[in-house]
Amino acid sequence: MTTVTLLITDVAYGGRGVARLENGKVCFVPGVLTGETVRAGVLRERDGFAEARLLEIVTPSPARIAPACPLAYSCSSSLSCPGCTYQHVDYAEEVRIKQHQLVSLLTRQAGIDAAVPQPPVPAPLPLGYRNKLSLHAQKDGKETRLGYFAEDNQTVLDVPACPLADPALNRCLTELRNDVSVRHGLRDGMTLTFRHTEREAAVWWRGEPRANETWLVENTLLGPLSVPRGSFFQVNPPVAGLLLSQIMESLQACAPRTVVDLFCGVGLFSLAAAKAGVPETIGIDVDGPGIVAAEFNARKLNLSGIRWEAAPAQKALAKLGPKLEAGDTALIVDPPRNGLGRALVQEILNHPPRHLYYISCAPDTMVRDLAWLREGGYLTERTQLFDMFPRTAHFESLTVLHR
């Protein structure tokens, strides 16, 4: 391993610092900050770039802080937890870094005007915010570790507590770890899921949740929402609330006749549209139990004018056809990390709705899709970062487009 001294000039999306080797090649180093001088060991050189590990911080940034977790990446860690990328950064600086990444992705990769990004929305709680943990059991001789996969993707790191998790989940984890019968019941490869809601406090289960398991109830600004244990719900409820308010405000101003909420989960944004006075809403998700809960949620909240469909996004959009572009329809999309993809963007462009709200948890796939939507005639009005996942490399954003 060659040792080099590097000046860090940027922190790229994903959290690795950017520097240049003497031969001019870009070199990525984790655990560093812009302006720092570091000693690093070059691990591999590829055609276009090199990757190094951090050995020593020679000149630290004023924004550097001590990590809240002993498993976070550092000069001395042999295996670290890859979940947290920004444990070594003051939180205000983390938000600045993420905003810089979003602006750079939007302008460079989607050709979007620099006036589009709005000021970022930081999380009220940079730690202790997650309402869900998934931990893996791994047997190693007589020892059983329970925790997250390390950066090698093979070794499970024992996690006594996760600083990102709601404190109630960490208390539940401690009790469980101290319970000999539970510990003896852990099998190699088993996954344990922990969920927190204000109503239920902390619950946990092994493997997949049973189909007949009681639903969880999440308090939201729309009222209580029922969520089947295997269905998606936003992991950071305070930030989800801020995002929801922003969407409702925007829908009230835009006043579409119809909202199509693609990837609706248990109905969060469909219900918000109905509450914001939209006369007709269609909520679509491939998750059947999620759609059953969405219907139940609408009835419980006494919200009408919503039709639900359990179907894959592509098929459901194709079925909607010309209805999607009729009048002043707004399409809300909140896809998983892989984004919409070419085929779904094409399906949208076949019958383009006048307004499009793109909620994304992965800005790299989002800017790819936005570039296609721009070619298809959409103008981006605004993009705003919501820091749904503090201390990690990820962030949420809401982009509003029209045509």
CA distance 45 to 52: 9
Q: Min. distance of Cβ 295 from ligand SAM in angstroms?
A: 15
Binding site for ligand SAM (CB under 6 A): 232-234, 263-265, 268-269, 285-287, 290, 312-313, 334, 336
- Of 81, 84, 172, 361, the active-site residue reads 361
CA distance 361 to 232: 13
Residue closer to ligand SAM, measured from CB, 268 or 330: 268
Q: Min. distance of Cβ 131 from ligand SAM in angstroms?
A: 12
User: Is 254 part of the annotated catalytic residue set?
Assistant: no
* Residue with the shortest CB distance to ligand SAM: 265
Residue closer to ligand SAM, measured from CB, 27 or 388: 388
The string of DSSP codes covering 217-261 is EEEETTEEEEE-TTS---S-HHHHHHHHHHHHHHHHHH--SEEEE
Residue closer to ligand SAM, measured from CB, 186 or 366: 366
Q: How far is CA 68 from CA 128, 221, 378, in A?
A: 11, 31, 43
Q: How far is CA 379 from CA 100, 356, 357, 403, in A?
A: 21, 10, 12, 6
Q: Is 64 helix (H, G, I), strand (E, B) or coil?
A: strand
Residue closer to ligand SAM, measured from CB, 31 or 267: 267
Q: Min. distance of Cβ 346 from ligand SAM in angstroms?
A: 15
Q: Min. distance of Cβ 338 from ligand SAM in angstroms?
A: 9
Residue closer to ligand SAM, measured from CB, 94 or 287: 287
Q: Identify the helix (H) or strand (E) that includes residue 344.
A: helix 341-350
* Residue whose entry in the numeric block shows the structure tokens 């693609």: 262
Handedness of CA 306, 308, 312, 318 (dihedral sign): negative
Q: Min. distance of Cβ 138 from ligand SAM in angstroms?
A: 28
Q: Are 144 and 177 in contact (CB under 8 A)?
A: no
**Pairing mode, strands 355-360 and 330-333:** parallel
| Catalytic positions, written as ranges | 361
